[in-house]
Amino acid sequence: MTDTVAAQSSAIPAPKSLPARAIGVLTSPRDTYASIAAHPRWLGALALVVVLFMACVSAFLSTDVGKDALLDQQTRQAESFRGRPLSDEEYARLQKVLPYSPYVSAAAQLVTLPLAASVVAGIAFAVFTALLGGDGTFKQTFAVVAHSGMVLALAQLFTMPLNYARETMSSATNLGVFAPFLDDASFGARVLGSIDLFVIWWAISLAIGLGVLYKKRTGPIAMSVIAVYVTIGIIIAAFKSAVAGA
């Protein structure tokens, strides 16, 4: 009896500290997600991801380079949707709110990141429990999703200095950088520009976590998540092209 209890205890992964989990998701995801599934603590991971996002975005937008990059992005988006150049009054209104952009962006991250994690966790929980008969709990699923955000937080830390050096808000890690010969306004360039390598990594990381939790193969999960992501990118690119054409 003692040997059986000991064997069962040894089969349960030991809990990891928050720093160990944050690094482990990036360096040894399968073992780390096994520990997360066994000990689903999500608050610290989610808070760390949100703080890193807020710090990176706010720091960038607190600089003159960041404000100019944001103004340029907002101007191009507004002109694309309206199909005409902005008037002097409209441009002045955009300039007027720039000093508040670090605070507005930080507040947006504080709201949208937990909300997005909840939506992804809810969809994953519904699919794997209701459709596939898995026995994971929502808390476990949410913990996996929250920790997968470490990949996206790393993306912020990686791209912020690049964006500062490039003086732009556009991602430096999207597939569009591999096709500089394409016209930025073309459909192909918009599709490639909407697909980011760090998000692909995040999808694979999330698939590993869900696979560990629900005892499923990682490959099909990763392909499904990536397929959804690419489809959304194509839809966004098609919408932008249609609006620009109109």
In this prediction, what percent of the chain has a pLDDT beyond 90?
60
Which tens digits make up the pLDDT trace of 204-222? 999 999 999 999 999 999 9
- Between the alpha carbon of residue 109 and those of residues 4, 105, 156, the distances in Å are 47, 6, 12
State yes or no: pLDDT of 82 exceeds 70.
no
What would the mean pLDDT of 214-241 be, rounded to a whole number? Answer: 89
The pLDDT of residue 11: 73
Q: Is 180 a residue whose pLDDT tops 70? A: yes
Rounded CA-CA distance 18/39 in Å is 12
State residue 7's pLDDT score. Answer: 41
How many other C-beta atoms lie within 10 A of the C-beta of residue 127?
16
pLDDT level of residue 2 (50, 70, 90 thresholds): very low
Percent of the chain exceeding pLDDT 70 equals: 92
pTM for the full model? 0.87
Q: What angle do CA 182, 184, 190 make, to 5 degrees?
A: 95
Rounded Cα gap, residues 195 and 233, in angstroms: 6
Predicted confidence at residue 54, as pLDDT, reads 95
pLDDT band at 6; cut points 50, 70, 90: very low
Comparison of pLDDT for 51 and 129, the residue scoring more: 51
What is the Cα–Cα distance from 7 to 5, expressed in whole angstroms? 5
The token pair that represents 28 in the structure block: 């040894």
Average pLDDT, the chain: 88
